[in-house]
Amino acid sequence: MTQILDTIQSPADVKKLTMAELQQLAGEIREELINVLSRTGGHLGPNLGVVELTIAMHYVFNTPQDHFLFDVSHQAYVHKLLTGRRDRFHTIRTPGGLNGFMLRTESEHDAYGAGHAGTALSAALGMAAARDRLGGKEHVVALAGDAAFTCGITYEALNNIASQTKRLIIVLNDNKWSIDKNVGAIASYFNKLVTNPHYHRIYERAAKLVERVGGKSAAQVARKAEEAAKSMLWPSVIFEEFGLKYYGPADGHDIPSLIRTFEFLKQLDRPVLLHVLTQKGRGFEPAEEKIKKFHGLGPYDPETGETKPLTQRTYSEVFADSLTALAKQNDKVLAITAAMPNGTALDRFRAVHPTKYYDVGIAEEHAMLFAAGLAAKGMKPFVAIYSTFMQRAFDQIVHDVCLQNLPVVMCMDRGGLSGDDGPTHHGLFDISYLRGIPNLVHMSPSNEDELADMLYTALLHNGPVALRYPRGIGPGAEVKAQPVALEIGHAELLEHSAQDRVAIFSLGNMLPTARKLAQALDAGGVPAAVINARFAKPIDAAMVRDFAARCEVLVTMEDHALAGGFGSAVLEELSRAGLATPVVRIGWPDQFIEHGKPDDLRRKYGLTAEAALEQVRQILDSRARQALGISV
């Protein structure tokens, strides 16, 4: 039996369907999401929640002429299915397949790419302002979850919308969750909007009147009733204070009602906000019950929702457990996250130390400033934020933490490649964007036990510390009951001999690759030293100079961009010392790396022992020819 979804090649096909067929399409899309993502993994819960909403948007508007912007855009899978990508949907988040986020280069229907929260309103306003200047008639629709309204950028956009465009549609997708349950005053405010029975009764009466009578007079009565409802609750709805006309709350799973509403909003010549209520994970019981788990996950059983259990703790879990232990020993230890208690594993810390735990919402800048204030009063805050999201707090790191030399610890999860999530989530730039800041210590562990030691070292250090660690599990090192303090700026010499011709400096999780390279060199009669660098700043300058003076080649290895990374720091030190020893730098090239399996991407871009061996051999062969007087 042919499914309706099989007939959808573009949004034009959606517009041909009856209301009953649209409902059937919603069911088929949910089935497609559940089955495909069970094999590839992905953001299941958010997409199950926006099925009807996305269908209604495509029924009413006309992409790519009209523009849809999705905040974060992890909830754009339904949009991809309706815009000619159904035949490739099984490839989502797989090497060479569809990206898990909006991507301008993937489709003309993807008006704006994103992977971080809080981007939609500002970008949509920019597009609307450009349209106005060019005399265009297209619609710009920004869909943002309620979690995006804990993000400061969203309010910076709201402050400018009314003065900079006459026409913009914002859809507030309210499901009460980001990855974890939303927190703070904004979440409470939305809850009041949603739950007040007086507002609902008056709003529903107004809506029914419009449907029953129609015409301008009915619309005016409805508007008056709505305004009266708002004034009964509080002086004004916050969005109207920003100059946006507020509509809602509306049922985000009622396709006919959503279509009528969007048709109405299309006619308005002013910025508007539609408040829509949706259920995250709708239609798949495991996702409805385990909302955090099914926000984004790997492969699972499509019948039960069960996932394959990990056999050991992830780096995130080791971080959280180690910090939990430190907080038991020291009352000044506090943990801060920006809406990521599950992703950073701080939910484990929260369970033990609820009064020492802070979730500030999607507000990385505030998180860092908040930590600076805590540190200024003698506290020891550990701020757990993904490397890619820490970029947003750069000014606060420089101006508020490092300039004042405050003892804030930046715990950067996903430091390095983030695999399936792609370029918006790879943590490949934190060394380069932090290494030039005075007072900062930057370190990276080679295994789980060293991570615990580095956290303890950071606790004892009276100044700012950045600590990066990778996604997923490590080599499985046993974590000691009591961590030890490391000497800041000192590398660990693991393998060496008096005959070493090559010295391999490995940072973080590249150590297994460094050992493999050393073994290959030794097998070829080239003794090699292996050094666990530990610190990207300050690097162990004495050890670098020592090996550079007596070895023919240095090798640096890092799960980071080569530009400005650890290898660059080594080159700078050699320049200061006046040493010209050749350096083979292994790391990521000066480009954004696509999504894919980490091992495949490392092979493609040369982050392997085999690629490093080839470069080292070329240098050694060249030096040998030069020594024999043979021109190269």
Name the residues annotated as catalytic.
280, 364, 392
The string over 25-55, giving b where at least 16 C-beta atoms fall within 10 Å of a residue's C-beta and e elsewhere, is bbebbbebbbebbbebbbbbbbbbbbbbbbb
Q: What is the C-alpha to C-alpha distance for residues 555 and 571, in angstroms, rounded to an integer?
A: 11
Tell me how far apart the alpha carbons of residues 240 and 271 are, in angstroms, rounded to a whole number: 10
Report the half-sphere exposure of 197 (CA within 13 A, side-chain side). Answer: 0
Judging by beta carbons within 10 Å of its beta carbon (0-12, 13-18, 19+), is residue 126 exposed, middle or buried? Answer: middle
Nearest to 272 by CA among 229, 237, 231: 237
The string of DSSP letters for 589-600 reads -SS----S-HHH
Contact, 506 vs 513, CB < 8 A?
A: yes
Q: Rg of the Cα trace of the chain?
A: 27
Chain position carrying tokens 């991809």 = 80
Per the rule left: phi > 0, alpha: psi between -120 and 50, beta: everything else, 101 is beta
Cβ pair 55, 252 in contact under 8 A: no
User: What is the H or E stretch that residue 465 is in?
Assistant: strand 465-468
* DSSP state, residue 486: P
The crossing angle, in degrees rounded to 10, of helices 19-40 and 51-60 is: 130
* Residue 150 near residue 186, CB atoms below 8 Å: yes
- Angstrom CA distances, 547 to 86, 495, 513, 529, 619, stand at 56, 12, 20, 9, 16
